[in-house]
Amino acid sequence: MSSAPSPTGVPSRRLLWVVLSGIGGLLVVALIIVLVVWRGGAGTPTAGGDPTSTRPTPSTSAEPIPVASAAPAVPTGPHPTTCDSIYSPGMLSTFSETRTLNPEWTVDNDDVLQAGTVDADLTALIESTDHLTCIWAAEGGGSDSGLTTNVVFVTAEQSEQAHQRLLALGQNCYEELGGIRCVIESAADSDGLAGESHFLRDGIWLATHYVNAGPDGYTHDMVATIWAGA
């Protein structure tokens, strides 16, 4: 894979997805990761469930993309209220083989990444907006892998704000599935990989951050499920 620009303020890939007190800060100082495109774009299932082998290609300079159609002035798109409802049965079954959706220990736990991003500005926007938080983690407690997705309900202005921030961070943004997709991922090595996938459409922002976790086609599955029949 070719490299994409490294965003600022990105923590180490060795940093546990669950930020363990006492060691998290040392890991951030020790290793700063360089992120490229997320493998979530590979093997993406279509609305009918058939995967493809296409992986997004990172660009070295992401140009702003018009987002007038990405979100209405007042959100009028789907409004899922439970994490189970944003995934297809197949994705729920696949991910449940290795992780648990919202295990009790992750709920309102400050040591767990509650936002689908490590960027402070994007996190603040998520926290100030109506959103649903879905965390896939080990049932028994913290580990070196996991995934957090926020379904964030945004206005057109908030959608554009998120989009411009993603571009500023060097994420690869492009039009896809009727919305805007932005992706970035670390180069895989002995420590595994980490990355983010974001999708903006119809007043919804799907913000995902993962460390050593995430089936191929994860974001596409959410899009196909949330906008089923659209």
Q: What is the pLDDT of residue 187?
A: 79
The model's pLDDT over 147-157, given as tens digits with 9 standing for 90+, comes to 999 999 999 99
* Residue 24 reports pLDDT greater than 50: no
The model's pLDDT over 77-119, given as tens digits with 9 standing for 90+, comes to 789 999 999 999 999 999 898 899 999 999 888 888 899 999 9
Which of 35-39, 70-74, 170-174 tops mean pLDDT? 170-174
Q: Give 174 or 77, the one with higher predicted confidence.
A: 174
Q: How far apart are CA 8 and CA 191, in angstroms?
A: 20
Q: What is the pLDDT of residue 75?
A: 58
Q: What is the pLDDT of residue 61?
A: 43
